[in-house]
Chain A
Amino acid sequence: MSRASLYIPLGVFVLILGLGYVGFDLGARNELPSALIDKPFPEFQARLLDAPDQTLSREDLLGRPALVNVWATWCPTCLSEHAQLMQISAATDVVIVGVNYKDRPDKAKQWLAQYGNPYDWVLDDRDGLLGIEMGVYGAPETFLLNAKGEVVYKRVGDINPRIWRDELAPRLRQLGIVMTMDNTDTGAD
């Protein structure tokens, strides 16, 4: 065996160390890749929070892009992203659907009255069944649907200014959403 080949095991060892370091250091290890990406948003039928006798289904979301935001009053991160959603609602014409996930309707209504309502529709998913159809495992989660009702993007965690600027705004623009004000850096304070 030549001298140089003696270093092969060391090289392999360092390679494994490196892979391990990179692998364990990946920040996204808590985030599941959504099984729904590039797939149609699931069929559903859900009651509206403010009009329990009316329901919304997948067909109502077709024809234009839509943001589906899963939130609850018990979820502190939902409150921290709320201002960002308000700004998106004010600055764009994208349809925003709220899924009130495993929550109490009275609390949810009170919350919206107190902090403002960025949603075009709010669905009452108090038992979390719609959430399971969507593969939701926590709140907040946000799905971006194109006009055909396919999921093009999913965010697990809050919509913060950085996510809005780097991930959401470019995709909305790509889908033809009109930004009614110059808001590339909406909330990027």
Chain B
Amino acid sequence: MAVASAFLFAYTSRACRRFAALLLICLLPTGAVVAASQIDTFNFADEVQERRYRALIEEFRCPKCLNTNLAGSDAPIAQDLRKVVYRLVVIEGKREQEVRDYLQARYGDFVLYDPPFNGQTWYIWLVPIGLGLLAVFVLIRLLRGARWEATVLDEQQQARLQEIVGHSKSSSGAPGQSAERK
């Protein structure tokens, strides 16, 4: 990406250059982040194995860091856990779920970015649903309050209406409203 924008920078007109330079500046940090993700020297038998390993280290949270996955952390414990994932996947040939169970048994739900529904986590699942329901409820209340409703008039009101309509007819000839806003 950065290379492409540098190319653009070189070959665009003066007017565009400023924009291209801005783009380049914006992209620089992304390049740096990509470069900062951790690279270990592991050997894989085939591409499938490597893909499984990479997907798994992307999936787990580093226990030492508040919000970095195993793939992106250079904490010593993340390095060790990447080795463990490598051993489980490549050397012991474990399936994905077995690797998840292994890490969960040792480091708890914390390492899973997808927390299970249990006594400790129920509220993070239920609060958004509850707030959604509350929003629907409030919306319905608001819409109902704003609705235009036909008003049924009793005899007395009918008579009064006739009187007014009759009066306005005789004075201006404009038709009156048969309903009024509640």
Contact = CB atoms under 8 A, between A and B. Distances in A.
Interface string B68-104: 0000000011001100100000000000000000001
B91 to A, nearest CB: 14
Say what secondary structure dominates the interface of chain B: helix
Nearest to A12: B134
Given A9-B138, A32-B63, A134 B106 contact: yes
B182 interface: no
A133 B110 contact: no
B34 interface: no
B7 to A, nearest CB: 44
A161 interface: no
B54 to A, nearest CB: 20
Q: How large is the interface on A (under 10, 10 to 19, 20 to 34, 35 or more residues)?
A: 20 to 34
Contact of B81 (A9, A32, A34, A132): A132
A115 interface: no
A29 interface: yes
Say what secondary structure dominates the interface of chain A: loop
A9 B131 CA distance: 11
Interface in A6-64: 8-9, 12, 29-30, 32-36, 42
A157 interface: no
Interface residues of B, number: 21
A35 B64 contact: no
Contact of B106 (A12, A132, A138): A132
A137 interface: yes
Interface in B42-69: 63-64, 66
Contacts of A132: 80-81, 84, 106
A133 B64 contact: no
A1 interface: yes
Interface string A96-135: 0000001000000000000000000000000010011111
Contact of A137 (B64, B84, B104): B64
A60 B133 CA distance: 56
B66 A135 contact: no
Contact of B66 (A5, A30, A42): A30
Given A1-B141, A1-B145, A29-B66, A35 B105 contact: yes
16 contacts: A30-B66, A32-B107, A33-B110, A34-B108, A35-B104, A35-B109, A36-B106, A42-B106, A132-B80, A132-B106, A135-B63, A135-B108, A136-B77, A137-B63, A137-B107, A138-B77
Interface of A: 1, 5, 8-9, 12, 29-30, 32-36, 42, 102, 128, 131-138
